[in-house]
Amino acid sequence: MKQLFMFDALREATDEEMKKDSSVFVLGEDVGHYGGSYKVTKDLHTKYGDLRVLDTPIAENSFMGMAIGAAITGLRPIVEGMNMSFLLLAFNQISNNAGMLRYTSGGNFKIPIVIRGPGGVGRQLGAEHSQRLEAYFQAIPGLKIVACSTPYNAKGLLKSAINDDNPVILFEHVLLYNLKEDLPDGEYFLPLDKAELVRSGSQVTIVTYSRMRHHVMQAVDQLIEQGYDPEVIDLISLKPIDIQSIGESLKRTHKLIIVEECMKTGGIAAEIIAQINDIYFDQLDAPIIRLSSEDIPTPYNGTLERATVINPHQIVMAVQNLVKV
């Protein structure tokens, strides 16, 4: 076992796959000589050179198109978004080309591209740098979407994404890069379509993902001291949603809370609720509780910023109120 920061785990995954397969390359703003905004590509330029760790102009639509074209020819590009918010500038390329070309070409083209980078509410990054784009991309056919929450799953998910023949978006949270964890010395891969059962419990199922996993676990520590027994599921896969794992949990607890940093309107939780109502409605003993961010641009002011995002105290209160029902 070795202890790594999340950014080191992502770097190690990239390095391992680049070493094995010469068709894997990285491109994006400042990924080369600078080593990436959050050092995920640090020193890879020295090891692999300019053609495999490629610094691009500030032109997201252009270099995303170049990466998709490279994927069509058989290369395996990893596109780093300096901030996932900037990928809105490449939305057309991601949706109309990355997501659809395998289908519209009748299967003649594969699109083995990974799009990854930091997102979420940081610490006073302002509205335009605090976007949560997972729900924007979730409706696009042909994409796979995952959100890492620990160094362990970050490495395993990225390695699997690089080896997948379909476009994969990997969401990393800007405040989790310095999270540390013991990782196995050997190589490992994690599935791109499975949720993780973080804690077994009997009273209520809490479904979450990304940074909110850690807020949930802070709340769970308090709840256990008070005698509650919550079950916790980290979604990991946002497209497709592993609704079966949530349903199996509901058969044990019959109550559901969804905690997300995404906006409430049209968010990931909204899709989960729709699918639960379609498939597992009879398992519910109470209405589903949805804890989501406020539907406003994220304020720059630190106090107001914190007020827009769900905190552990709100999760504790929601569990207490739901268990009483």
Active-site amino acid positions: 60, 129
Residue 1: the pLDDT is 87
Name the residue ranges covered by the structural domains of the chain: 2-183, 196-324
Residue 267: the pLDDT is 94
Residue 199: the pLDDT is 98
Which pLDDT tens digit goes with each residue over 99-121? 999 999 999 999 999 999 999 99
The full 3-state SS of the chain, as one line of letters, equals CEEEEHHHHHHHHHHHHHHHCCCEEEEECCCCCCCCCCCCCCCHHHHHCCCCEEECCCCHHHHHHHHHHHHHCCCEEEEECCCHHHHHHHHHHHHHHHCCHHHHCCCCCCCCCEEEEEECCCCCCCHHHCCCCHHHHHCCCCCEEEECCCHHHHHHHHHHHHHCCCCEEEEEECCCCCCEEEECCCCCCCCCCCCEEEECCCCEEEEECCCHHHHHHHHHHHHHHCCCCEEEEECCEEECECHHHHHHHHHHHCCEEEEEEEECCCCHHHHHHHHHHHHCHHHCCCCCEEEEECCCCCCCCHHHHHHHCCCHHHHHHHHHHHHHC
196-324, what's its fold? Rossmann fold (3.40.50)
Residue 325: the pLDDT is 74
Same fold, 2-183 and 196-324: yes
CB 283 within 8 A of CB 250: yes
CA of residue 26 relative to chain centroid, distance:
19
Query: Per CATH, is 2-183 categorized as 3.40.50.300?
Result: no
Residues in the chain with pLDDT values less than 50: none
